Amino acid sequence: NAGVTQTPKFQVLKTGQSMTLQCAQDMNHNSMYWYRQDPGMGLRLIYYSASEGTTDKGEVPNGYNVSRLNKREFSLRLESAAPSQTSVYFCASSPRRDGAYNEQFFGPGTRLTVL
């Protein structure tokens, strides 16, 4: 039981390049999330998917797109990377769509640098 997995672990991009961050969970969770973590700012929600087939914007969605490929997988795409997107990206999942009090389970993160 791997929990939440993310690939890649590290990535360096040049400004304007594109890439997709992959996330998968094997806990049969309904909801999945993408966060970015910047020093002193905690975690900020980029996009989330309450259930398979739905996605919604979070606090900081500009410059990102997401795809909920199936119940297990939720990818984050940067179409044209900018230095301001240098950050650590975390994927998370939680069990139930209506489980407001369910804790979230986090992946190990992807450290992205945009030059």
Partner 1 sequence: AQSVAQPEDQVNVAEGNPLTVKCTYSVSGNPYLFWYVQYPNRGLQFLLKYITGDNLVKGSYGFEAEFNKSQTSFHLKKPSALVSDSALYFCAVRDIQNNNAGNMLTFGGGTRLMVKP
Among 24, 25, 34, 49, binds partner 1 (CB under 8 A): 49
Determine contact, residues 70/53, Cβ cutoff 8 Å: no
Closest alpha carbon to 108 in 89, 87, 85: 89
Q: What is the Cα–Cα distance from 73 to 94, expressed in whole angstroms?
A: 13
Determine contact, residues 66/55, Cβ cutoff 8 Å: yes
**Per-residue contact flags (x/-) with partner 1 for residues 6 to 45, judged by CB under 8 A:** -------------------------x-x-x----xxxxxx
Minimum separation from the CB atom of position 28 to partner 1 (A): 16
Minimum separation from the CB atom of position 16 to partner 1 (A): 28
Minimum separation from the CB atom of position 22 to partner 1 (A): 15
